[in-house]
Amino acid sequence: MTGVVSARVPLWRDVRVLKWALQLAVVGLVAALLVWLYGNYVENTAEQNIPTDLGFLDNPANFQITGNPLSQNAPVRDALYEGLLNTLRISVVGVVAATLLGTIIGIARLSKNWLVSKLAAVYVEAVRNVPLALFLVAGLLVVVLGVFPTIQEAWDLGGLVIVSNRGVAVPWFDGAGYGLLMFALVGVVTGLAVARWRRSVSDRTGALARSGLWAGGALLLVMTIGWFAFGYSWTLPELDGRRTVGGMRVDPSFFALFFALVIYTASHIAEIVRGSIQAVPRGQGEAADAVALSGFQRMWYVVLPQAFRIAIPPIGNQYLNLIKNSSLGAAIGYYDITLVAQTTVGNGSPAVPVFTLTMLLYISISLVTSVIVNYANRRMALVER
């Protein structure tokens, strides 16, 4: 019986077989293309005696990373690692600042105050229509080299901050290391737990949760306990000849890159926030008014939670853009992973392995970011139910 059926539908006309065959053929072709390209690469580099292995990672880097104590004799591996850390630093700080600025401007665009809304509109239109690279060069040439004073005439802001074109020095923790970071993490976890508890109290009793305030207070408390328990202190920056000592010095290139990335990305996030707020049904705001919530409460408890649910996926894209755009910092001497890769190739490391490695690192960062954003998206989506 079955034999008869299979004889009636020959293999080359069986849709299932054809589907599989087509897919296998496509996979095979792509694989063959890659093998062929790789073969060409190996053969062409062998002709020129260019190494294709990862042995270069142990060679001395022979350059210094600005603002980093790493010796020029440290291996390329360490230089790439420091470059990766620099990429992560500018990305984390940039994402946080761009989100805050973008949200504020997005809300301001919807303000009933004519001046505020028009200013926000001008900001968005002016900034998002100018190339990012221009902001970068302007940040360096105009702000850092043009506006900031020389070290001899540095601005001393109340002994706390020293601004010069060699960097912005700010007070910083003395001997701060992973210990303090651990306390910050414990503080954040405690804060989240406290916020959760406040929400449950609010659900039971109907009192205002004020979870943000409670969580912030808990974080501060844990940090303060850690501070005294471990005897941390902080240092103020001081002028010492042509340098500043003490505190933490933010490099001019970091400053210019941060400035450009935040200003630029915030303009895009602002538009997303504005659109998302407008996508929340009008009745929601009116209902908030009807139960006599204040303007802030209406925004914070009713409109924004629903708006962010809509905004998270597109804002996540902007985060990815910001991370990838941070590679433009190479143009102004910010030693992110891209610039370290470029420099080490110029110093004798083989280009193909170095840039393959760099691309893999960017992909990893982006995928991790996507996972975090997707997680947040799922959590927010559940809230609505």
Partner 1 sequence: MRITTRKALVPLVALALFGAACTSDDGDDATTDAPADTEAPADTEAPADTEAPADTEAPDDTVEVVQGDGSTLQAVQDAGVLRCGTRDALPGFAVLTEDGDHVGFDSDFCRVIAAAVLGDAEAVEHVDLETADRFTALQSGEIDVLVRNTTWTASRDGTEGATFLTTTFYDGQGIMVGADSGFETITDLDGVIVCVAQGTTTEGNAANEAARLGLDWEVRAFESTDLIQEAFIAGQCDAWSSDRSQLVALRSEFPDGPEALAILPETFSKEPLAPAVADGDTEWAQAVNWAILSTIQAEEFGIDSTNVDTFSDTTDPSIQRFLGLEVEGDDGAAVLDPGLGLPTDFAAQVVSQVGNYGEIFEAHLAPLGLERGLNSLWNEGGLLYSPPYR
The binding track of 177-216 with respect to partner 1, each residue x by CB under 8 A or -, is ----------------------------------------
Q: Residues touching partner 1: how many (CB under 8 A)?
A: 54
Polymer length of the chain: 385
Within 237-256, the residues that bind partner 1 by CB under 8 A are 240-243, 252
- CB 51, CB 350: distance < 8 Å: yes
How many CB atoms neighbour CB 87 within 10 A? 26
The binding track of 220-239 with respect to partner 1, each residue x by CB under 8 A or -, is --------------------
Q: What is the C-alpha separation between 89 and 85, in angstroms, rounded?
A: 6
Token digits of residue 5: 């059926």
Minimum distance of partner 1 from residue 155's CB (angstroms): 14
**At residue 368, what is the residue type?**
V
Distances (CA, A) of 129 to 108, 124, 132, 293, 345: 19, 8, 9, 37, 34
Minimum distance of partner 1 from residue 95's CB (angstroms): 26
Q: What is the C-alpha separation between 144 and 367, in angstroms, rounded?
A: 34
Minimum distance of partner 1 from residue 145's CB (angstroms): 4
Q: Write phi, then psi, for 48 (nearest 5 degrees).
A: -100, 10
Q: What is the C-alpha separation between 148 and 331, in angstroms, rounded?
A: 20
Within 13-72, the residues that bind partner 1 by CB under 8 A are 29, 32-33, 35-37, 39-40, 43-45, 47-51, 56, 59, 62-64, 66-67, 71-72
- CB 232, CB 176: distance < 8 Å: yes
Q: Which of 99, 165, 211, 318 binds partner 1 (CB under 8 A)?
A: 165
Within 298-327, the residues that bind partner 1 by CB under 8 A are none
Residues that bind partner 1 (CB under 8 A): 29, 32-33, 35-37, 39-40, 43-45, 47-51, 56, 59, 62-64, 66-67, 71-72, 140-141, 144-146, 150-152, 165-166, 240-243, 252, 330-333, 339, 342-343, 345-351
